[in-house]
Amino acid sequence: MPPIDRRAVLKLLSASAAYAAVLPLAQASDRGTPTRTVAGDEVLSIEFDPSLRTRVSAGGKAITGFDASEALLLADGSAIDSFAFLDARDERVRDRRHGPGRRHTVRGRSRDGIEKTVTVTFHERHPGLAVVQTRYRNDGGAPIEVAGWRNAAHEMEDAGDGFWSFSGATHTDRRDWVQPVVDGFSQRNTLAMDSSDYGGGTPVANIWRRDVGLAVGHVEPKPRLLDLPVERTAAGARLAVEGLRATTLAPGDSLASDRSFVSVHTGDYFAALLHYSAWMADEGIAAPEVPASAFAPIWCAWGYERDFTTEQVLGTLPKVKELGFEWVVLDDGWQTNEGDWQIDTRKFPRGEDDMRAFVQAIKAQGLRARLWLAPLAADPGSEVLYRHTDMLLLDEYGGSQHVTWWNAFTQCPAYHKTVDFYVALVKKIIGDWGFEGLKLDGQHLNAVAPCHNPAHNHADPMESCEGVATFWQAIYDAAHEANPDAVVELCPCGTAFAFHNMPATDQYPSSDPLSSWQVRHKGKTIKALIGKRGSYAGDHVELADGGADFASSVGIGAVVSTKFTWPHDIPDPKLDMPPGGLVLNPEREALWRKWIDLYREHMLPQGDYLGTLYDIGFDAPETHVIGKDGALYYAFYAERWDGPLQLRGLGGGRYRVRDLFAGAELGTVDAHNDTLPAAFDTFLLLQAVPEGDAA
């Protein structure tokens, strides 16, 4: 099986084997209706009516009506969304990042004297994706109080079996990122702060039917505090991009939207995220190539909680090594507080000398040491909070931003003293203490609010929001300067990962999943964004359904992780414990050993995740596929299944199919006869190997 090229996948998901010549800006007449303007490529077209409302078509078929897709939002809650057509033009463009394409410009004027200019740009290397930007100029004689702007607002009709949605924004309740769009469904999906310490995300919203999908978002190289509302309507479902920032538009003044995008696709949201990530890779925002150790199995000492002893951790290491784990994570509790990050001498009496000795004891077992850290948080009572109050992020009223889990205060990531403090700390942890990785943890790490601290001299309060990504880049660079093979893990607990932080991250975990479904659909999401360059971890298996669902990590190509204790549970746990506790009893040990052996034998995280073969919303059972070393690996999930299973994506020739977990041969298939009967509970993992190849 040849290697999978991501741009080749983009062509397939767009239902276009090659980019067609971009449609010229056309004037079309439809049964006597007024002239309208069409712009597009072979995959996607956007049609303007005489009021500058637009209709979206996929592959030549309309999938929306004429919607007031771009509008100026007013302070009184109304909107200016009807503009009489003035003129249109098109031109060839060649962008140094995105290559050749065509830009279409359409102008109109409202009754209020607002001139609207919409540019729609298509690039040949991104078929099926249009970049939309809107500019409004007040040509009237009076100022207008503006609440913001709306772009790419479209409604799709229900084709009979409903919609599914992906929303990349953060929600404090840690809800699913992928959901059916049921009656009453409505999400604001803000990329600003959803609460004091939850915010940011991947700026994409997507709705899809069984036959076609529509995605919108923004393509700015820095984070934007936009909203991506998605809701069920009487006729179907709609979505939009909204920038809500109040201003006064005086006569002669102009206001421009951020660059938004519209894309169409077949299959589920994976295709839309591939489009988005490919575009942003051209902008220079892409996952880094990670060290091979980023795919090694992880044992975390969090099972011993904050009151761990070094004897508990070191005493577990022989079992950790025996089972095939490679990483040892020292979690929360090694420090005196969040903020000062000084070593707790109750656990490490000689301070840094004991910490170095602790790391060496881990390495002596042939294991790798990773240290937990929650940057940008300063506890009440910490020395840094009172000696360096200038590092705090403050709102317009001088109030601080609260980090709920640790009862701490957020420090500003765009303030040079904050950056310098954490860069020095990371260099000490990696370069001096000897840790080979960092677990950066906390829901406040994804995004922060605008900062108004006068000590920072921000030119714009948004500098703090934009500074999160550059802060992480400084941390990443410091860790890799100290050790080029260091692994930087970013775990913004339960939040939808902020895409702009991705270049500074070696590994994303599923981040405190609430279910196995979250482990799997978060995995599909992250793999669309990072490809095989980066690493996705399933987080502690004890957080999955039943506390032992390794299948949900192994089957989707996630790094396996656990926080088991051994040989005993802690006597007085402060956190909720699963039934039976966390101790690795003989039954669990046999199961853990079997899964870790399977994981290490096949190393599916280093394969190609083929996310366009199955629709996670409409196909049953839920299916994920990975291609690796000529074989295809199929992971099926359902509470109960008894029926045929289709093995999509097979190449030429016949394949031998094997049940990996049961070790049973199930027969042979080929591309023309690609179904097998099967019955299973919860999961089924299959390996399809071309006949003649070694299993």
Give the list of residues 6+ apart from residue 224 with CB closer than 8 angstroms, or none: 191, 203, 218, 243, 258
Long-range contacts at 539-547 (CB < 8 A, ≥ 24 apart) = 539/491, 539/509, 539/510, 539/511, 539/512, 539/513, 540/300, 540/302, 542/303, 542/578, 542/582, 543/510, 543/512, 543/513, 543/514, 544/513, 544/515, 544/516, 544/519, 545/515, 545/516, 547/578, 547/579, 547/580
Q: Mean per-residue pLDDT for 557-582?
A: 94
Q: Is the pLDDT of residue 410 over 60?
A: yes
Query: From CA 564, how far away is CA 131, in angstroms rounded?
Result: 48
Tell me the per-residue pLDDT of 539-560, one tens digit each, with 9 for 90 and over. 999 999 999 999 999 999 999 9
Q: In the structure, what pLDDT confidence band is assigned to residue 378 with cuts at 50, 70 and 90? A: very high
Question: For 187-217, how does the pLDDT look when each residue is reduced to its tens digit (9 = 90+)?
Answer: 999 999 999 999 999 999 999 999 999 999 9
Is-above-0.85 flag for pTM? yes
Q: Tell me the average pLDDT across 38-58.
A: 95
DSSP E strand stretches across 575-692? 608-609, 622-628, 631-646, 654-659, 664-670, 675-690
The Cα 227–Cα 70 span in angstroms is: 14
Cβ(592)–Cβ(551) under 8 Å? no
Evaluate whether 625 touches 613 at the Cβ level (below 8 Å).
yes
Residue 16 has pLDDT above 90, yes or no: no
The Cα–Cα gap between 32 and 439 comes to 64
Chain-centroid distance of CA 371 in Å reads 23
Give SS3 for 162. coil
CA pair distance 311, 94, nearest whole angstrom: 62
Give residue 249's pLDDT band: very low, low, confident or very high (50, 70, 90): very high
* CATH homologous superfamily for the domain 292-375+415-449+459-609: Aldolase class I (3.20.20.70)
Residue 572 has pLDDT above 80, yes or no: yes
Q: Which of 644, 541, 651 is nearest to 595 (CA)?
A: 541
pLDDT at 9: 41
659-674 pLDDT, tens per residue? 999 999 999 999 999 9
674-695 residue pLDDT tens = 999 999 999 999 999 999 775 5
The DSSP result for 174-240, as a single string, is ---SEEE--TT-EE--BSSEEETTEE-EEEEEEEE-SS-EEEEEE--SS----B--EEE-SSEEEEE
Per-residue confidence (pLDDT) for residue 1, from 0 to 100: 35
Query: Taking residues 321-325, what's their average pLDDT?
Result: 98
Give residue-wise pLDDT tens across range 480-510.
999 999 999 999 998 999 999 999 999 999 9
CA–CA separation, 13 and 208 (whole Å): 13
Supply the pLDDT for residue 406.
86
Name the region of 554 (left: φ>0; alpha: ψ -120 to 50; beta: rest).
alpha
Mean pLDDT of 432-448: 97
Alpha-carbon gap, residue 424 to 229, rounded angstroms: 41
In the numeric block, which tokens belong to residue 544? 């999955």
Dig out the tokens for 53 from the structure.
Answer: 């409302």
With pLDDT > 70 as the criterion, what percentage of the chain qualifies?
Answer: 95
User: Is 32's pLDDT higher than 50?
Assistant: no
pLDDT given at position 8 = 43
Residue for token pair 């932080």: 501
Looking at residue 123, what is its pLDDT? Answer: 97
- Quote the CA–CA distance of 162 and 160 in Å, as a whole number: 6
pLDDT value at residue 33: 45
CB 370 within 8 A of CB 439: yes
Whole-angstrom Cα distance, residue 228 to residue 191? 8
pLDDT of residue 297: 98
Model pLDDT, residue 24 = 44
Nearest residue to 34 via CA among 62, 61, 66, 60: 66
What pLDDT shows up at residue 533? 83
- Inform me whether the pLDDT recorded for 19 exceeds 50: no
- Name the average pLDDT for the chain: 94
For residue 22, is pLDDT > 50? no
Residue 511 scores a pLDDT above 90: yes
Q: Is the pLDDT of residue 30 over 80?
A: no
Mean pLDDT on 533-541:
94
Domain 6-282 fold is Beta-galactosidase; Chain A, domain 5 (2.70.98)
Q: Cβ contacts of residue 667 below 8 Å, gap of 6+?
A: 656, 657, 676
In this predicted structure, what is the pLDDT of residue 5? 43
Average pLDDT over residues 52-77: 97
Q: Residue 36: what pLDDT?
A: 72
Instruction: Determine which helix (DSSP H) or strand (DSSP E) holds 595, and give its type and residue range.
Output: helix 586-602
Q: Give the separation between CA 649 and CA 413, rounded to whole angstroms.
A: 45
Q: Tokens in use for 344?
A: 């707790």
Bridge partner residues of 491 (DSSP) = 441
Q: What percent of the chain has pLDDT over 90?
A: 91
Residue 37 confidence (pLDDT) above 90: no
Average pLDDT over residues 121-149: 97
pLDDT digits (tens, 9 = 90+) for 167-179: 999 999 999 999 9
Three-state SS letters, 167-181: EEECCCCCCCCEEEC
Angle at 460 between CA 277 and CA 170, to 5 degrees: 40
Each domain of the chain, given as residue ranges in start order, spans 6-282, 292-375+415-449+459-609
pLDDT for 694: 59
